[in-house]
Amino acid sequence: VAALKERGVARVLNDYDFGGYLIWSGIPVAIDGRTELYGERFMVELDDAMTLKSPDALFNLLTSQRIDATLLRRQTPAAQLLDHVDGWRKVFADENAVAHVRDPSARHTAEPEIKPASN
């Protein structure tokens, strides 16, 4: 959370479990435990994005919501993909969570470049 606060992020795509803590820390969230406030359509779109159910779901959500950072569970498919997407940089990771921030100079598009994994 400190890494996100240092960068002054405005719109964070977060895992459901981190919503309350982010709110308590003064960081705006995409989702928290009050799921009834978000509506069924958003919840389905969020699930599709986090699990990569459709190829463009994550990038469409990042673009439409103008997300500039993420805080996701490490094992979330979306978090793993962002490690390889041009324009996103990992700024924190531990055994539970990973945070990425969007490079301000990156194109805000639903079709980013995917970087090959380096071994």
Q: What is the pLDDT of residue 89?
A: 93
- pLDDT: which is higher, 75 or 29: 75
Judge whether 88 and 102 are in contact, CB under 8 Å. Answer: yes
Instruction: Go through the domains of the chain in sequence order and give each one's CATH number.
Output: 2-102 (3.40.190)
Q: What is the pTM of this model?
A: 0.80
- Closest by CA to 68, choosing from 47, 94, 87, is 87
Instruction: Please check the confidence at residue 108 and state whether its pLDDT lies above 60.
Output: no
Residue type, 105: S
Phi, psi of 87 (to 5 degrees): 95, -5
pLDDT digits (tens, 9 = 90+) for 20-48: 788 888 888 777 666 666 667 877 888 89
